């Protein structure tokens, strides 16, 4: 499984990634009509140093819809990229690859485990 490189990214790449994330989220919300992407949140974007590629991390409210959401996002990738090129001025508009962000689900699972331990042993 691929680990996100959060703190290792340069400041500029991080800012560009955040701008790309905001713009893609807006495009998804306003212009993409595919029902498979309803309820999808974009959690992070990692842009390669040459701006040729971007990994877009997403989460879903319903984990049973992750596969369908990934298909919908991949299907919309060309449209999203063309809209992104109009909104964000970079010397290259990155190819978009969508990856499910398991960190939210993992954090929720850990939180429930901790709550369970407190209830069973802390009182």
Distance CA 82, CA 10 (A): 25
pLDDT tens, 67-89? 999 999 999 999 999 999 999 98
The set of residues, in sequence order, having a beta carbon less than 8 Å from that of 115 and lying 6+ positions away, is none
Q: What is the pLDDT at residue 115?
A: 81
The verdict on residue 1 lying in a domain is no
Residue-level pLDDT, tens digit, the chain, 123 residues = 444 554 455 798 999 999 999 999 999 999 999 999 999 999 999 999 999 999 999 999 888 999 999 999 999 999 999 999 999 988 889 999 999 998 877 777 777 888 888 887 754
Q: What is the pLDDT at residue 9?
A: 59
The pair of structure tokens assigned to 88 is 């964000």
- Looking at the 3D structure of the chain, how many domains does it have? 1
Range of the domain at 40: 6-121
CATH number, residue 93: 3.30.300.20
Nearest CA-CA partner of 21 in 45, 4, 38, 5: 45
């Amino acid at each position: 499984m691929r680990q996100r490189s959060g703190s290792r990214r340069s400041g500029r790449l991080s800012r560009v990634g955040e701008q790309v994330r905001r713009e893609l989220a807006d495009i998804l919300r306003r212009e993409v009509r595919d029902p498979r992407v309803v309820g999808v949140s974009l959690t992070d974007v990692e842009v390669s140093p040459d701006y040729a590629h971007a990994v877009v991390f997403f989460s879903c409210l319903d984990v049973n819809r992750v596969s369908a959401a990934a298909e919908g996002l991949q299907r919309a990738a060309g449209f999203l990229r063309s809209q992104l090129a109009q909104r964000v001025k970079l010397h290259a508009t990155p190819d978009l690859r969508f990856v499910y962000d398991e960190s939210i689900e993992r954090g929720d699972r850990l939180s429930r485990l901790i709550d369970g331990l407190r209830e069973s042993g802390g009182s």
